[in-house]
Structure 1
């Protein structure tokens, strides 16, 4: 009977049913933690720098304070990248979820193969994942550049609070 699912299809169904929830949940958790960390680091750096700039201005140390806006822009840019990455990661999850739904529907009736829609959803999900990862990496790079800019500003004006 050609309309009966083969043993291979049955095996694929059971593997898919067992593998998807566990791996999907762990990937989502790791991704969520990376996004939270990126946003926390950049946002915390921006808040700390604004407080530091306020303290400098209140002590009439405008020279150093005038060098720091570039660093603040880097931290805020990193925060924006982290927030956009969060939205993109939800798109990736949606696309992967749609691919799973379509794949299950495809495996329930002949010809027991993935449709073009499944392949499109999977490719879109992978693309959005790569974009989100690139944005998180960009967040870390921009934050490091912000730290370097703060260091250069402090060094340029000779500000040494411990001396």
Structure 2
């Protein structure tokens, strides 16, 4: 079973047709926010790891276990943490801009149900099953809203920043 089928996403019939490439380009535009959120999450984890290392450097434990590798200084860890925080802040700014671009694209849709499905899927990272439960629709109905919403997105709006990512 393909990844699309597992997530409940519609399978595209002919990957070479012009409509499918436009469909995939629009999806790529919408997925940018999810990708940047994953990067931010990874940096958060890295900051947590550095904080843990900083704590262990500051409170040395004496054990009879052999040690390997070069000891890391607190100054190096603080520098790494600060650099990671700066990277995270830059990604947060970029995420805000991308989210606004996505909302502007969603505002071109006429059907509020399509807007809600795409917002929940691409901004709030819910899967289609969760969305159908939240909205009170069947999964099949939700998939229809998802597919038609992406097809109905204004192509001019979604072309703006796809090349940047």
For the criterion TM > 0.5, the same-fold answer is no
Could you state the TM-score of these two structures normalised by the residue count of structure 1? 0.44
Could you state the TM-score of these two structures normalised by the residue count of structure 2? 0.43
Structure ranking higher in helix proportion: 1
